Amino acid sequence: MDGQTLIDIKTDSDGVSMFRNPYCLTIDTKGKYTYVSDWYRNEIIKIDLDSYETKAVAYMWHPEGITIDEEGFVYVVETGTNKLFYLHPHCEYSEKVILLHTLPGDWEPFGICFNSAGRKLYVGQAERDTIKVFKVDE
């Protein structure tokens, strides 16, 4: 890596800013799409990496951690409610499914990643110094 920026993904074709706080992002296994959790806009934004077209695919209250599995399911930590969601690969706007509801006091999910070996989800807990590991059913 030589430190040269290849492109700035910042505004749409009309010059309008696409993001307010693009907190976390993940790229699908085919390298076709990236999904961005925009904390301030309260949305998950899907970007086509060929055309740079964007589409909001879900509304969430302060989404932060985001990851994707090999089948294209997107997992998102919604810090505003302490819930964990997933989005179907071909979802329409706001078709989200709660994977985990708020857990008792010590939950506070923040970071997240998916491990395809064993289909496990790793969720880091802010200010709790813990990583919780969950098995994702097929």
What band does 26 get if pLDDT is binned at 50, 70 and 90? Answer: very high
pLDDT digits (tens, 9 = 90+) for 69-96: 999 999 999 887 888 888 988 766 656 7
Rounded to two decimals, the pTM is 0.87
Residue 121, CA distances (Å) to 4, 70, 84 in order:
33, 12, 11
Cβ atoms of 58 and 96 within 8 Å: the answer is yes
In the three-class reduction of DSSP (H, G, I as helix; E, B as strand; rest coil), residue 23 is classed as strand
Distance, in Å, from the CA atom of 15 to the CA atom of 31, rounded to the nearest integer, reads: 25
Q: Which residue has the higher pLDDT, 55 or 107?
A: 55
Residue type, 4: Q
Cβ atoms of 123 and 111 within 8 Å: the answer is yes
Cβ atoms of 121 and 75 within 8 Å: the answer is yes
**Domain over 22-104 is classified CATH 2.60.40.10:** no
Residues 6+ apart with CB under 8 A from 38: 19, 20, 21, 22, 23, 44, 45, 63
Identify any residues that bridge with 55 across adjacent strands, giving them in sequence order.
46
pLDDT of residue 81: 82
